[in-house]
Amino acid sequence: MKRYILAIMLLLGVNSLTKAQQKMPTPQEMTVKNVEELEKRLKLSPTQKSVIHNYIFDMSKLQLEMIKRQQAGTSNEDDVTKFYKVQNETNDKIRTILKGDQLPEFEKVLEDRLNGGTKKKKNKKGKKEDEEVVTGISGLKLETKP
């Protein structure tokens, strides 16, 4: 009897852990995270921040709809094409409201996102230096320490 109770408790625990890992962020959470990164890196004015927030929120809603359809197995290739089109249009809209030094920095942000983000590590003297960013399948392999 104790084994059955223990087995049931174990199954319930595993089930709750898998559900916790599957929690998707809301469009608002995704938007806030993206806008905060852009605000920090581009030094946006309040007006720019508000307009960019609206653009990114619309794109985030579409992205989450696509993810839900993909998980349900009802997505198609047109969805991916549509998302990339909306993403490019959103980036173009953002470019139109940026000024001066913000444009080159925005291009760096986009490049960083395409490369999986910039990774920093501290060297022995405490200064940050860029770590080599590896893309493709080789970036997924585990490093082994000698």
Mean pLDDT of the chain: 78
Does residue 112 have a pLDDT over 50?
yes
Give me the pLDDT at residue 122, please: 45
Question: What are 49-108's pLDDT values in tens digits?
Answer: 999 999 999 999 988 888 888 888 887 878 888 888 999 999 999 999 999 889 999 999
Residue 121's SS3 state is strand
Looking at per-residue pLDDT, the higher value among 94 and 24 belongs to 94
Q: Which amino acid is at 48?
A: Q
Kindly report the length of the chain: 146
DSSP symbol at 122? E
Q: Of 3, 127, 7, 22, which is closest to residue 71 (Cα–Cα)?
A: 22
23: phi then psi, degrees, rounded to nearest 5: -65, 120
Give me the pLDDT at residue 69, please: 84
Rounded-to-10 torsion of CA 80, 86, 91, 96: 160
Q: What is the pTM of this model?
A: 0.62
